[in-house]
Amino acid sequence: MDRFDVIIVGAGPAGLCAAMYAGRGMLNAVVLERGIPGGELLNTEKIEDYPGFESILGPELATRMTDHAKKFGADIRMENVEGIHPQPGGGFRVTTSSGAEFEAPTVILTAGGTPTKLGVPGEAEYAGRGVSYCAVCDGAFFKGEQIAVIGGGDAAVEEADYLTRYASKVTIVHRRDAFRASKVVQERALRNPKIEVLWNKKVLEMVGDPTGLKRLDLEDTVTGARSELAATGAFVFIGFTPNSGLVKAHINHDPSGYLLTDDRMMTSIPGLFAAGDLRVQLTRQVTTAVGDATTAAIAVEKYLTELKSRAAV
């Protein structure tokens, strides 16, 4: 079993930043990532809100972050983590689907989460070319265009209202006849002259051409009637699942499963830190992810120093 000072679970922006700072702090760290390092950056075409880069392709930023972390000695291993197991005497055992096991007194969990997909034809094909799961990330690419928002909860209705600052028209497509969003959020959106709602409609297919998304094929959930909606952008907000279930012990979280942390990014389990999208916070951006990770990695260094001081007494 491999032993380290800290195990970083996930190699998105938060994990890579944590690895860089762990290396700078001379910690013996390992990063476990089930795929290519970069996380959601790999699914994002352009990024225009990361300081220092007026515009950069998501995969390019992922490569730069990976190279930067490796410059400081990041040990990145392709492993699919199945569980983070707090040990009775302190510290953690991390298990993976390959059968490998890792031990460390600290863990930084940066595994993010997964936006719920519609699962319709064309969704994967046009991801990053019209299909998005983040209004703040991609809204500015649709200035003056007609876009659709799919969903009916707080996130969908709030983001539809936000997107009207860019789009000429926003159509909310909802499979029911009433929103699940809170009343105040609904009222604000329904007062917005740029927003139209299509009730009792579900998306059957996302259709486009080599330049990107062009329309949505819809079906009425009551009558079964088919229709088309012209849209060059489709923002899907039907749910997001944080990967907090990797922790095989009780851990404080909000009703949606997002982890609660203190100002050092430490969770309710001593030695377990969280950074990025799976942590409770106002917004989830690349900038907030790396900010969380900076704090977590420096906090880990201080936590390990405290452990050694107590052990020496």
Tell me the mean pLDDT in the region 54-74: 93
pLDDT above 90 (res 47): no
Would you call 184 exposed, middle or buried from its count of C-beta atoms within 10 A (0-12, 13-18, 19+)?
A: exposed
Q: Average pLDDT of the chain?
A: 93
* Alpha-helix runs per DSSP H in the chain: 13-24, 58-71, 135-138, 154-163, 183-190, 286-312
Is residue 39 within 8 A of residue 277, CB to CB? The reply is no
Q: pLDDT-based confidence at 300, cuts 50/70/90?
A: very high
Read off the pLDDT of each residue in 72-81 and give the average, rounded to a whole number.
95
CA separation (Å) from 139 to 49, 70, 143, 149, 197?
Answer: 11, 32, 8, 11, 19
**Least confident interval from 210-219, 263-272, 289-298, 301-310:** 301-310
- DSSP strand pairing (76-78 vs 146-150): unpaired
* Other beta carbons within 10 Å of 80: 12
Return the ∠ at Cα 151 (arms to 147 and 152), rounded to 5°: 120
pTM of the model: 0.76
For the stretch 30-40, pLDDT in tens is 999 998 899 88
For residues 187-198, average pLDDT: 95
Cβ neighbour number for residue 112 with a 10 Å cutoff: 24
In the structure, what pLDDT confidence band is assigned to residue 182 with cuts at 50, 70 and 90? confident
User: Which has more confidence, 58 or 200?
Assistant: 200
| d(C-alpha 29, C-alpha 293), whole Å | 14
Res. 196 pLDDT band, cuts 50 70 90: very high
CATH 3.50.50.60 maps onto the chain at 2-115+240-312, 131-236
In percent, the amount of the chain with pLDDT more than 90 equals 77
Average pLDDT (289-296) is 97
Q: What is the pLDDT of residues 242-264, one digit of tens each?
A: 989 899 999 999 988 899 999 99
Q: Is 17 a catalytic residue?
A: no
Report, in angstroms and rounded to the nearest whole number, the Rg of the chain calculated over CA atoms: 21
Catalytic residue among 17, 134, 161, 277: 134
Which two structure tokens, joined as six digits, stand for 228?
A: 């088309």
pLDDT (tens digit, 9 = 90+) per residue, 136-173? 778 889 999 999 999 998 889 988 999 999 999 999 99
CA–CA separation, 67 vs 89, rounded Å?
A: 36
138 is an active site residue? yes
Kindly report the number of other CB atoms within 10 A of residue 124's CB atom: 13
Which fold is adopted by the domain 131-236?
A: FAD/NAD(P)-binding domain (3.50.50)
Euclidean distance between CA atoms 150 and 144, whole angstroms: 19
Q: Please tell me the distance from the alpha carbon of residue 15 to that of residue 21, in angstroms, as a whole number.
A: 10
- 8 A C-beta contact, residue 19 and residue 31: yes
Element (H, E) at 129: none
Q: Which CATH architecture has domain 2-115+240-312?
A: 3-Layer(bba) Sandwich (3.50)
Among candidates 117, 115, 83, 114, which has minimal Cα distance to 98? 83
Q: List, for residues 89-143, the tens digit of each pLDDT value.
A: 899 999 999 999 999 999 999 998 888 899 999 999 999 899 998 887 788 899 9
Contacts of 225 (CB under 8 A, 6+ apart): 219
Q: Is the model's pLDDT at 7 over the cut of 80? A: yes
Q: Of residues 2, 17, 137, 262, which has the active-site annotation?
A: 137
Average pLDDT, integer, range 67-87: 96
Residue 241 has a pLDDT of: 85
